[in-house]
Chain A
Amino acid sequence: MTDQNDLVIRLTDVSKSFPPDVLALRGVGMEVGRGGFASIMGPSGSGKSTLLNVLGLLDTPTVGRYELAGVDTLGLSDKARTQLRGRELGFVFQAFHLLARRTVFENVVLGMSYSGVPRDERAARATASLDRMGLSHRLGFYPRTLSGGERQRVALARAVAGSPSVLLADEPTGNLDKATSQGVLELLGELNAEGLTVVVVTHDPEVASAAEQRFVMDDGHLRSWTDMSFDSARPGVIADGVLAGQWACGEGA
């Protein structure tokens, strides 16, 4: 479905092992087009976070090839990888990872300070990005005074303020209740609609089904469910029909 030239993420036969003998990824292949929306589900310990770390250049594959935005990341120096990461990628984590002693606004500005966004643009971008997440009234607040959903929206604002190519989200709704998750999910959808490539790891079938490309991780193997037809109006289908028997995904759902 995607034009070969328009791939943002191209993972070829990637394996990742941890000493002494954990094989977290086994020959994973994955392609996500520019503006795509991919979800990865799978049981705990199956390698989802490991995969996302590889995609995020936070970790290097033991074997295999990874091209990000047309750049072959193999053999890049740590500095070059870091710069590529800062420029092309935005992150959202289950644990938010907001700096407790910085305000909401400062957290978002910090997100742009390493990636070379011109100094005089940062404040305006941060404000716009927080505004985009519906947080204009929280600029001077400290994270501890915010609700979980608000914190995750701050993290989201920080992730996209620098206009990355790809947003990587590792269980972004893992710490949120259902209603709040829905809000975050909608934001992800909107960002994607505006052209941002999104890869999300989730335990929540509802989140997963919102994606146009759906992957399942199983003991280091990545399988695509893209070809299966899901009714996005009835996300329960995934849990009920296809995957329910394989594992319990109670945490997220």
Chain B
Amino acid sequence: MRRPPASGRHRDRQRKPGGVEAVESAESTSRRHDPFGLRDVLMEAVLGLAGRPGRLILTALVVVLGIGALVATVGFAQTGARQVQARFEAVTARHGVVKPAQETGMPGFVPGVVPWDAAERAVRLNGVTSAGTVAKLDSPGLVTAGPVIDPTAPPTRQPLVMAATPGLFPAISGHIQEGAWLDNFHEQHAERVAVLGARAAQLLGVLRVDNQPAVFIGTTSYTVIGIIDRVEYVADLLDAVIVPQSTARTTLGLPLPGELHVGVDLGAGPIIAEQFGLQLNPNNPQGYDIVMPPPASQMRQDLAADVNSLFLILGLVALAIGGVTIAVVSSMSVMERRGEIGLRRAIGATCGQIAAQFVAESAIVGLLGALIGAAVGGLAVTVWSIIRGWTPVLDLRLAAAAALTGVGVGVLSGLIPAHRAARLEPATALQEGT
């Protein structure tokens, strides 16, 4: 009676036959069918989060703290390890030492003797960049800073007296505090000069070398030409008055050159070790204890990042708190959004799709927190490294792991709220959530 001829959108429907065919024809009217897929879930999740920025920031922040702490902890450890490795490569991997072998008791074994010209022989080998001998003098006589000896004065602590050749200093990566190290001229002419180790200098009250101070060993004076404050090997040098080897030999009665230190090219250690004995004494190549750096490939494996477990635990705890925060806030959100959930159910969302949306929201919060956290952690490592003058090590895999962890935490903590949301009765949700 009050129905005019059908027109417009619903015309097809009116012609639709009843019964089961109706459903089939409803499907065939729009042959194409775009289901609500992952893309839509993510889209809805992003929009859902973007609509509540305050809440998003709050929840993501806790994840930022957790992931940031973890990334920084691992980053610090890796940077530190790299630093140790760099130092190792710079020093340990380039240093070798040769001493007379210990008596083994094996028949026919004769301990070798480091020859006076050991350093010159050593530098002739390929891969040896520097070489020098060093020896300690047993009873050199009283060492004083002035010529006047007061026999009644109480005995003070005495510095050591050592003999060294010019090439020793680079071989042991020494560092000059003041003046200069012994040079070839001093060695060739058995000059009466001395270099002081920093502690010996203190002991003797020598603070500067520009005024050519003298120290006395016994009654012989030696002009101080330099003070050294750092060595990587032969730490005794810092407590010693160091004179040229030739000087020690002629004036102080040094019996033997002691041990030989060599600087070697990276990775050259094993080959040099093979040739060294022969080079020093072709008649008794077995008579030496030769310690050379291992091949470079072996060294890296020995260096594992030493992660600070306390910080690691703190990071994990913060991350767990982040997860709980997401779960709690998200559960509150479900209660608050009952109306929306009911509406979505009414317009055709399955409970799985509702659950997926909430899980996706939590996952995105976790991911966002993780990415920002990784950036913050990386920044902390960088700043810390720059302050210490180190090279920051920022492993990209760490960022990837952080992102995955964030998503994982998000998904886990989203499961409970998602379950709650999915279990809401559509009718109840629509009625209560207005």
Does B associate with A? yes
Interface residues of A (CB under 8 A from B): 3-8, 34-35, 49-50, 53, 56, 58-59, 69-71, 78-79, 82-89, 91, 93, 95, 97, 99-102, 110-111, 113-119, 121, 128, 158, 160, 163, 165, 189, 191-196, 212, 232
Q: Which 4 A-B pairs have the closest CB atoms?
A: A86-B348, A195-B10, A101-B51, A114-B348
The chain A residue with its CB closest to the CB of B350 is A82
Q: Which residue in A5, A58, A110, A115 is a CB contact (below 8 Å) of B430?
A: A58
- B4 nearest CB across to chain A (Å): 5
* A165→B434 CA distance, assembly (Å): 26
The chain B residue with its CB closest to the CB of A2 is B18
Would B427 and A70 count as touching, CB distance under 8 A?
Answer: no
- A206 nearest CB across to chain B (Å): 15
Q: Which residue in A35, A115, A160 is a CB contact (below 8 Å) of B348?
A: A115
Interface residues of B (CB under 8 A from A): 1-4, 6-11, 13-14, 16-23, 26-27, 30, 32-36, 40, 47, 50-51, 339-340, 342-353, 425-427, 430-431, 434
* A47→B19 CA distance, assembly (Å): 28
Q: Which residues of B contact A128 (CB under 8 A)?
A: 9
Would A79 and B34 count as touching, CB distance under 8 A?
Answer: no
Q: Which residues of A contact B345 (CB under 8 A)?
A: 58, 82
Would B16 and A78 count as touching, CB distance under 8 A?
Answer: no
* A101→B4 CA distance, assembly (Å): 39
Q: Which residues of A contact B346 (CB under 8 A)?
A: 56, 58, 85, 89, 91, 97
Q: Which residues of A contact B8 (CB under 8 A)?
A: 194-195
* A108→B424 CA distance, assembly (Å): 23
* A189→B17 CA distance, assembly (Å): 23
Would B343 and A114 count as touching, CB distance under 8 A?
Answer: no
* A65→B352 CA distance, assembly (Å): 26
Would B348 and A5 count as touching, CB distance under 8 A?
Answer: no
Given contacts A59-B427, A85-B346, are A5 and B19 in contact (CB under 8 A)?
A: yes
Would B26 and A87 count as touching, CB distance under 8 A?
Answer: yes
Would B2 and A102 count as touching, CB distance under 8 A?
Answer: no
Extra 9 A-B pairs, beta carbons < 8 Å, given A53-B426, A58-B345, A97-B346: A49-B427, A58-B427, A58-B430, A79-B350, A99-B340, A113-B347, A114-B344, A117-B30, A194-B8
Would B47 and A7 count as touching, CB distance under 8 A?
Answer: no
Would A113 and B40 count as touching, CB distance under 8 A?
Answer: yes
Would A196 and B10 count as touching, CB distance under 8 A?
Answer: yes
Q: Which residues of B contact A95 (CB under 8 A)?
A: 339, 434
Would B348 and A34 count as touching, CB distance under 8 A?
Answer: no
Would A78 and B350 count as touching, CB distance under 8 A?
Answer: yes
* A128→B8 CA distance, assembly (Å): 11
The chain A residue with its CB closest to the CB of B342 is A97
Would A212 and B19 count as touching, CB distance under 8 A?
Answer: no
Q: Which residues of B contact A71 (CB under 8 A)?
A: 20, 23
Q: Which residues of B contact A50 (CB under 8 A)?
A: 427
Would B34 and A193 count as touching, CB distance under 8 A?
Answer: no
Q: Which residues of A contact B9 (CB under 8 A)?
A: 128, 160, 163, 194
Q: Which residue in B23, B36, B342, B425 is a CB contact (below 8 Å) of A69?
A: B23
Of B2, B13, B50, B345, most buried by chain A (CB within 10 Å of CB) is B13
Q: Which residues of B contact A53 (CB under 8 A)?
A: 426-427
